[in-house]
Amino acid sequence: MQKDAEIIDFTEITRSADIAADRHGARAKCLQRLVRMDLPVPRTVALSFDAVHRLAQGHVPDTAALLSLFGKAPLVSVRPSSPNQDWGGPASILNIGMNDTRHAALCDSHGETAANALYLRFIQAFSVHVARLDPDMFEPEAPSRDALRAALDAYAEETDEPFPQDPGRQLLEVLRSMARAWEGTTARLLRQAKGAPAEAGLGMLVQAMILGVGPGESGSGVIQFVDGTTGQRRISGRYLPQSQGRDAISVREGALFLARDPRGEALEDRCPDLIAQLRRYGESCRLNLREEMRIDFTVEAGRLWVLDALRVPRSARGAVRIAVMLADEGIIAREDALCRIEPRAVSELLHSQVDPTGPRHVIAQGIAASPGAATGRLVFGSAAAQASAARGEPCILVRRETTPEDIRGMHAAVGVMTERGGMTSHAAVIARGLGVPCVVGISDMRLNRRDGVLITAGGHKLHEGDVITLDGTSGQVLLGGVKMLEPALDDAFHALMRWAGEACDIGVRANADTPADAQTARRFGAEGIGLCRTEHMFFEADRLTVMHEMIFADRPQDRAAVLARLLPMQRADFKRLFEIMQGLPVCIRLFDPPLHEFLPQSREGVKDLADVLGMAVPDVQRRVQALSEFNPMLGMRGVRLGITIPEIYDMQARAIFEATIEASRRGDPVVPEIMIPLVSAMREVELVKTRIDSLAAAVRAERGVDFDYRLGVMVETPRAALRAGDIVQHAAFLSFGTNDLTQMTYGLSRDDAGRFMGSYVKQGVFAEDPFHILDADGVGELLRIGAERGRQARPEVTLSICGEHGGNAESIAFCRAAGFDYVSCSPFRVPVARLAAAQLALSDQARVSHQTGGGQPLAARS
Amino acid sequence: MQKDAEIIDFTEITRSADIAADRHGARAKCLQRLVRMDLPVPRTVALSFDAVHRLAQGHVPDTAALLSLFGKAPLVSVRPSSPNQDWGGPASILNIGMNDTRHAALCDSHGETAANALYLRFIQAFSVHVARLDPDMFEPEAPSRDALRAALDAYAEETDEPFPQDPGRQLLEVLRSMARAWEGTTARLLRQAKGAPAEAGLGMLVQAMILGVGPGESGSGVIQFVDGTTGQRRISGRYLPQSQGRDAISVREGALFLARDPRGEALEDRCPDLIAQLRRYGESCRLNLREEMRIDFTVEAGRLWVLDALRVPRSARGAVRIAVMLADEGIIAREDALCRIEPRAVSELLHSQVDPTGPRHVIAQGIAASPGAATGRLVFGSAAAQASAARGEPCILVRRETTPEDIRGMHAAVGVMTERGGMTSHAAVIARGLGVPCVVGISDMRLNRRDGVLITAGGHKLHEGDVITLDGTSGQVLLGGVKMLEPALDDAFHALMRWAGEACDIGVRANADTPADAQTARRFGAEGIGLCRTEHMFFEADRLTVMHEMIFADRPQDRAAVLARLLPMQRADFKRLFEIMQGLPVCIRLFDPPLHEFLPQSREGVKDLADVLGMAVPDVQRRVQALSEFNPMLGMRGVRLGITIPEIYDMQARAIFEATIEASRRGDPVVPEIMIPLVSAMREVELVKTRIDSLAAAVRAERGVDFDYRLGVMVETPRAALRAGDIVQHAAFLSFGTNDLTQMTYGLSRDDAGRFMGSYVKQGVFAEDPFHILDADGVGELLRIGAERGRQARPEVTLSICGEHGGNAESIAFCRAAGFDYVSCSPFRVPVARLAAAQLALSDQARVSHQTGGGQPLAARS
């Protein structure tokens, strides 16, 4: 039949065969390792990526010759062997070689039931995966002779030809079908979603069948020695007598436990030797493969065979526990343990998660803006959120979008969702800072506050008080409560973080505005505060009133008098932060937002304010209007405010200095860092510095106590980056605020970008959302320019980034390459950032040792 | 008396003396030239800058020795000689050497009246300018013996010492006082305001007095041969018998005309020879000094002396006429004529101006945002402005600030003033484009629209209908009407512009949105349209309705259908522009503004719109809200809109192509340029280009006519500048929009910057308003980077700037240095830009010829 048959390119898996994961796939390589460990692996042959690709292209090899390797009238299985276990692949197919003749022979040797089961399994698999027939044609049935006949008839009916009887053709069809499936669009997209390159190769394994059915103790099972979810050591898996493949897991009925178990019969009860043998194999895998493996085994007439072994699938928590355990036992190096954990996975450990095994009733989908999950009652405003929190009822705050006035509501809520906004909208940034789950940009939901109803695209009408669950990790909104997994800050996590800290060669600080943030930051191992935004401090009710009086004061001396009332509060804020962070640097950004953020926009708000200030409504209205701006992002804020109304910075600097003196009394001396925001010209820094230096001198003189401080600049305008050489003359540090820098470099407001960013990324206009992944080409170039010019003019300058990008592996790689001293990110991103930084440092070291270790140097290869 | 007297450093002005303008001042050098022309100049000695500086520092020279040069008991005058005639200087002092003894002698020789007059003039000048006594002490009186006695007594009374009698001391005091005055703060600030360096030197001239009083024909006068205001050739000036200095001009009573004049007696009637002689001197000055000079002359006993000659002061119009006339007569080269005109002055010629000689009642002062002056009735809104224009009554539109909805009002008004905003606010930009006088940022004025009253800080209450005059050249608001000077687009202006065009080595195009703009641009010699903003085209009432329907259409096909109704209007717009500019390039920027600019913000506006669209108010309200943005400048506009709602660009591109075909039928083929705004990534350009190219193919196929077009990018985000190398792969030209680029590079909205820019510049935080003068260090670096990368990737790319900066000499210098192909500015700035560009080109040529002509090369000197 195979007229054009050519010799197929294959390699039998033996101890010494030339098998490589990047040519034959991970499964092939793993099997070779099992062979080398003397595990009883059936005879297996590996087809290379190249051979499989040629199959897909139409090459017709001599499969009969291949089959002949397995003896006379053999049965074989075919399994995919992709470069990475996680990238998936086509389903394995068993019992190739079964035909009427072989069936008749097996009826004799193994009994009719076993023979029927083997043939039926093959017919079904071939029909579904090779002939692409409808799976529903094959109802699960007892393997009777009738069922077998029905299956063969169904096949012939649908395909207009009898079920193929020639084993060579069977094998060819199976191989070709699997090869083509791998190169199809669906499989390609699926594996790309898992991080595989589009052109990843596929190897295949042809293995002698161990039947698992027939006389004597026969069956198949799966065993693993750790719990993938918790990472705890315990044997799990199942064994099913008279079965093949993964039937023990999928069928369950009649399946046995493995180790002795009070819940029922175990394989150990029947065949204690087999379990002892499997334990030895598991231990051998652990030591030799340096990994927790799940072993697929089959027993045939009492004899144990190992068909395959896979890395135990695991949750983030399981992954951390397993890696740390292997390192603790000296099986792997700590460096390896660090590199085995996906940094993103760590953030799952810090928050509650929706249990992936439970049911989900998704009613809306948005952008996953802050990870973790929470269940609570819906509230539509900050006041309701605070009231709910006061009653001890967890609540989820829903807003069209949040503004600084919502901060207190966000503090009170266990989760936040908004109709508008993107990854770096106000809600997203604040929620990440607070570690509160948050979903933004839920465009298929409409909030009608007036009628007190939230309507989803699916037609759900939710009212205030209804219970929902917010999954900030997936971006889903779920109806009602669901089963949760609690955060996993266990010993293993802390050990991993300790090791990461040792491996890191770039600092990781936290953006922390409140004592609670600072405590979280310390707990997660932040090496200081890289950005303390002070404006949130002014939104508390008593302070807001003072802010209003300050804004309505006309003369500098009046403003100063009003601000003097804020001084003790600010001093207490800073003192508390310094005490929590004692011994570590704290970088305080001076007041940044435009003043109109503190003013009411609504008619009633203006009326209330007029009452409080004892002014006429039109006068209040006029001031509110006068302060309103076309483009607040590009307006009167940051250092511009600091220069125009210097009393604000004066008060803040004094509060910082007095808090420094007080906090230094009871511990290490505190050296605060003061950061000037929104600088675009050197002279701005010079003016502020002059004023702050003289304030420091005044405080020193008044208190008779000396202290140090460092003054620096937040580089967030393109001009500040370009002029870093000038600016650094008055700045001990430059901290790049990548949020605003991205906004200005792109000319794109993060608050307004949400409306089209999704479609922009989908169309590939932007490769990534630049507010999410640092734009290395544009914004990154400004960072490099700023860093170079800053360092050239002042070699000892401290360089850092403190935007939302701070915690991303990509940004950390960028900052390491550019020689930055540290990155700063929200407290809940600190562990992620430290792990990513450690991995980058280790990968660099590996590259260097590879280069100097006699291997071919990298440069020569590229 | 002069105990520490040292020899003074002086040089007598002779043909061969070593006199230099940069050591002795312009007046000294000019006098030497007169001497070389054999004009009868009295003996004169020049003190160098250095000698004067030492005088100011306290050096006490031997002035008696200096005086002895002028013979026995001489009378001398002292005049300042600064490096540049326009920088001013202390007043000249005459008759030094007069004392009681000399008075007695002169009574004998010249008569008592003459002697009294000479002595009295000196006492008064010495008292006021040297002893710094109150000028009011000296009432103008007939030079009687009593008056003389009174003056001497008053001096003694105030100073506690008699009037100094020693001529050496008199001279020393005069010299020292003038030297110190020059170095004082007031004089320094005054001359800095005129463009002088703070440390400019001052020379002084000591000249033998020609008395102008006494027996025979004696007197003094001033003569010039052109009219400084109009530039017309005619003799003007006066002669006053028995007078000195400028008495003929200041006293007038008894003064004679010079040439024969029907209005009264002339010097020519009395002494025709003197006038003939002066005419010869004037002609000699013209030919030798190559300038129109004003000659100070004195006649003593019938003999004519020339004391001094100065460049005739002139208006902008006079300056142009004089320079062109001198060039036409071959006295100066055309290049010199071009370099003699201050480019800024040219813009005065294009607009009506407030007559500088008339009275002004200033009631408010703002930023001079668009030059020229206009008188009209106050209107507070666009509707009123249109109504006023319809009645034929000129009106001045007053707004808190303007928005695109005010465009029609601005078209109808003869002048625009706004309470808020800066040089590049909406009002300013549009007004300059229209050539309408405009004053913005008038912070000492408050518009209360509700009560229909405009209140100035000075307490003036103006109502709608009151007549005011707006001076956009000075930024003043004047009460009532004033005397005006009309625009001066005469032959001389056109000749100058022609020569400028020949000298230019960089193109000058105009930003022109309307046929009227385009006509102005052509009239002023623009070499094309560099920026045609299309959004204004959508604000006309009928089109606005269509825009509203487009915005409220939900499906692409509905939008396309609505836009199809705009197509014929757009096509007509473009066709008209192409016809006016036939033969010249027209660069059309695709639709740029955010859609919410087209929507009403007020409650009534929304109601009206709901009526028109037949929708419910809440639905309209919701759409308006959904489109509103936090930072419109950084939002959904430009290419972002073009990609998200591609139907808009489709319609525009089709309109451009169809207009191209139609306009090419009756003249040169039109090659339109299509510009994509607000680009930040290459892929944006690629997507738009693909769509536009296929539209062009479609139009070619439909019409069966071929045409060319060029597609380019407006570089206005920092990222576009940084990524110019990529972007230019799909762009035939890059036009840098320096307005937006400045906003984004500084992180500063031009609309919001007005509130603090003034104080920022005053405090020196920014050296200049970067929206006014291109920031060469920051924004300029991005321009250089963009230009370099663009040209490297595509050497034939056309580079230009099209922001508000386009017309400034500084920006043009920058663009020439960076190798740009052209600048584009508002039509009324085109002549200024062309002249500035010509001057820069000429100055470069001069430098090159200096370098290659054997002089010391520039590089070696710097």
pLDDT by residue (tens digit) across B89-120?
Answer: 899 999 999 999 999 999 999 999 999 999 99
What is the pLDDT confidence band of residue B289, given thresholds at 50, 70 and 90? very high
CA B623 – CA B644 distance, rounded (Å): 17
Q: Please, which pLDDT band fits residue B858 given cuts at 50, 70 and 90? A: very low
How far apart, in Å, do the first and last CA atoms of chain A sit?
47
Look at residue B852 in the predicted model and tell me its pLDDT.
57
| Predicted local confidence at residue A409, as pLDDT | 86
**Angle at A494 (CA atoms; ends A493, A495), nearest 5 degrees:** 90
pLDDT for A7 equals 66
B491–chain A nearest CA distance, Å: 46
CA dihedral B19, B23, B26, B32 (to 10 degrees): -10
User: Which residue reads 């006079």 in tokens?
Assistant: B318
Q: Which residues of A define the annotated binding site for Mg(2+)? A: 716, 740
Degrees (nearest 5) of the Cα angle B125, B126, B127?
A: 90
Specify whether the CB–CB gap between A131 and A160 falls below 8 A. Answer: no
Out of A644, A745, A755, the one facing B756 most closely (by C-beta) is A644
For range A385-396, the mean pLDDT: 87
Determine how β-strand B303-311 pairs with β-strand B293-300.
antiparallel
> Does A3 have pLDDT greater than 50?
no
pLDDT on residue B826 = 87
Mean pLDDT for the stretch of residues B109-133:
93
> What mean pLDDT comes out for the span A828-853?
85
Q: Which of A632, A643, A759 sits opposite B631 (nearest CB)?
A: A632
Residue A860: its pLDDT value, please? 32
CATH of B219-314, one of 3.30.470.20, 3.90.1150.110, 3.50.50.60, 3.30.830.10: 3.30.470.20
Give the integer Cα–Cα distance in Å for A789 and A728: 9
Tell me how far apart the alpha carbons of residues A604 and A66 are, in angstroms, rounded to a whole number. Answer: 85
Catalytic hit among B587, B802, B815, B825? B802
pLDDT in tens, B636-682: 999 999 999 999 999 999 999 999 999 999 888 889 999 999 999 99
Q: What is the ipTM of this complex?
A: 0.79
Nearest to A463 by CA among A448, A441, A476: A448
Q: How far apart are CA A734 and CA A711, in angstroms?
A: 9
Tell me: pLDDT of A272 over 90.
yes
Give the amino acid at A739: N
- B402-461 pLDDT, tens digit each: 877 787 788 889 999 999 887 777 888 788 777 789 999 898 888 887 788 888 888 889
Q: How confident is the model at residue A803 (pLDDT cuts 50, 70, 90)?
A: confident
Residue A381 contacts residue A362 (beta carbons within 8 Å): no
CA distance B625 to A731: 43
Q: Is B127 left (phi over 0), alpha (psi -120 to 50) or beta?
A: alpha
Q: Does pLDDT of B862 surpass 50?
A: no
Residues 707-766 of A with CB under 8 A from B: 716-719, 722-723, 740, 743-749, 751-753, 755-756, 759-760, 763-766
- CB atoms closer than 10 angstroms to residue B104: 11
Q: What is the pLDDT of residue B451?
A: 81
Phi, psi of A250, rounded to the nearest 5 degrees: -80, -35
Gyration radius of chain A's alpha carbons: 33
Cα torsion B639, B641, B647, B652 to 10°: value is -50
CATH fold match for the domains B219-314 and B352-485: no
Predicted confidence at residue B856, as pLDDT, reads 36
Question: Tokens 């609540």, residue?
Answer: A395
Q: How confident is the model at residue B353 (pLDDT cuts 50, 70, 90)?
A: confident
Return the number of other C-beta atoms located less than 10 Å from residue B691's C-beta: 16
Distance CA B270, CA B225 (A): 20
**A426 part of the active site:** yes
- Side-chain-side CA neighbours of B214 within 13 Å: the count stands at 19
Q: Is the pLDDT of residue A383 over 50?
A: yes
C-alpha distance from A637 to closest chain B C-alpha (Å) = 10
pLDDT score recorded for residue B447: 85
What does the DSSP 8-state code read for residue B538?
Answer: G
For every residue of B727-762, DSSP letters joined together read HGGG-SEEEE-HHHHHHHHHT--HHHHHHHHHHHHH
Residue with tokens 């062979």: A35
Residues from chain A contacting residue B719 (CB–CB below 8 Å):
745-747, 775, 778-779
| Ligand-binding site membership of B573 (annotated) | no
pLDDT above 90 for B371 = no
Place A393 in a pLDDT band, splitting at 50, 70 and 90. confident
**Residues paired with A368 in a beta bridge:** A439
pLDDT for B59 beyond 80: yes
Is pLDDT at B192 greater than 90 in this prediction? no
- C-alpha distances out from residue B330 to B327, B490, B504, Å: 5, 20, 21
Contact between chains at B765 and A632 (C-beta distance less than 8 A):
no
Q: How many residues does chain B have?
A: 862
CATH top class, domain B10-192+200-208 = alpha beta
**Ranges of each domain in chain A:** 10-192+200-208, 219-314, 352-485, 504-529+578-592+652-846
- % of chain A exceeding 70 in pLDDT: 97
Rg of chain B in Å (alpha carbons): 33
Mean pLDDT to the nearest integer, A279-284: 96
**Which has the closest alpha carbon to B826: B800, B807, B811?**
B807
Q: Are A714 and A802 in contact (CB under 8 A)?
A: yes
Task: Say if CB A378 and CB A390 are below 8 A apart.
Answer: no
- pLDDT at position B194 is 78
Q: Which helix (H) or strand (E) holds A185?
A: helix A185-193
Work out the pLDDT band at A187, boundaries 50, 70, 90: confident
Quick check: helix, strand or coil at residue B619?
helix
Per-residue pLDDT at A857 exceeds 60:
no
Predicted pLDDT at A5? 53
CA A425/CA A369 separation, integer angstroms: 9
In terms of C-beta density within 10 A (0-12 exposed, 13-18 middle, 19 or more buried), how is residue A468 classed?
A: buried
Contact call for B765 and A630, based on CB within 8 A: no
Q: What is the pLDDT of residue B851?
A: 61
Residue-level pLDDT at A484: 84
* H helical segments located in A371-514: 382-390, 407-412, 426-434, 491-503
Residue B236 — φ and ψ, nearest 5°? -140, 170
* CA angle (B569 as vertex; B566, B571 as ends), nearest 5: 105
Angle (deg, nearest 10), helices B830-852 and B491-503: 50
CA–CA distance, A531 with A738 (Å, rounded to integer): 12
The strand pairing partners of A710, in sequence order, are: A673
Tell whether B737 is in a known binding site: yes
Sign of CA dihedral B386, B389, B393, B394: positive
Q: Which residues pair with B376 in a beta bridge?
A: B468
What's residue B197's pLDDT? 87
pLDDT tens, residue by residue, A732-783: 999 999 999 999 999 999 878 877 887 888 888 998 889 888 999 999 999 9
Three-state DSSP class for residue A95: strand
Q: Are B766 and B746 in contact (CB under 8 A)?
A: no
Residue B855: what pLDDT?
A: 38
> Cβ separation of A629 and B687 shorter than 8 Å?
no
Closest CA to B827 of B590, B574, B514: B514
Residues 575-634, chain A, touching B (beta carbon < 8 A): 629-634
Catalytic residue among A395, A802, A815, A825: A802
SS3 string, A274-307, reads HHHHHHHHHHHHHHHHCCCEEEEEEEECCEEEEE
Alpha-carbon gap: A852 to the closest alpha carbon of chain B (Å): 37
Separation of alpha carbons B205 and B46, rounded Å: 5
Fold of B352-485: Glucose Oxidase; domain 1 (3.50.30)
Distance of CA B816 to the CA centre of its chain: 21
Q: What is the pLDDT of residue A699?
A: 97
Give A432's pLDDT tier (boundaries 50, 70, 90). confident
Average pLDDT, chain B: 90
Contact yes or no for A690/A727 (Cβ under 8 A): no
Minimum Cα–Cα distance from B757: chain A residue? A640
Predicted local distance difference test score (pLDDT) of residue B38: 95
Is A773 in the B-facing interface, judged by CB distances under 8 Å? Answer: no
- Please give the model's pTM, rounded to 2 decimal places: 0.79
Q: Annotated catalytic residue: which of A24, A110, A411, A426? A: A426
Question: CATH says A504-529+578-592+652-846 is which class?
Answer: alpha beta
- A-facing residues of B in 295-324 (CB < 8 A) are none
The type of residue at B76 is V
DSSP string, A596-607: GGGS--SHHHHH
Residue A250 CB coordination number (10 Å) = 11
Higher pLDDT among residues A117 and A408, named by residue: A117
- Residue B802 catalytic? yes
pLDDT in tens, B325-345: 999 999 999 999 999 998 888
pLDDT confidence of B840, banded at 50, 70, 90? Answer: very high
Q: Tell me what the mean pLDDT of segment B760-772 comes to.
A: 87
The model's pLDDT over B475-529, given as tens digits with 9 standing for 90+, comes to 999 999 888 887 878 899 999 999 999 999 999 999 998 898 899 899 889 999 9
Q: Which amino acid is at A594?
A: P
pLDDT surpassing 60 at residue A852: no
Phi, psi of A114 (to 5 degrees): -65, -45
Let me know: does B83 contact B179? Beta carbons within 8 Å: no
**Residue of B418, B445, B746, B763 to mutate, testing the A interface (most A Cβ within 10 Å of its Cβ):** B746
CA angle in degrees (0–180, nearest 5) for A785-A789-A795: 135
Question: Is B740 annotated among the ligand-binding residues?
Answer: yes
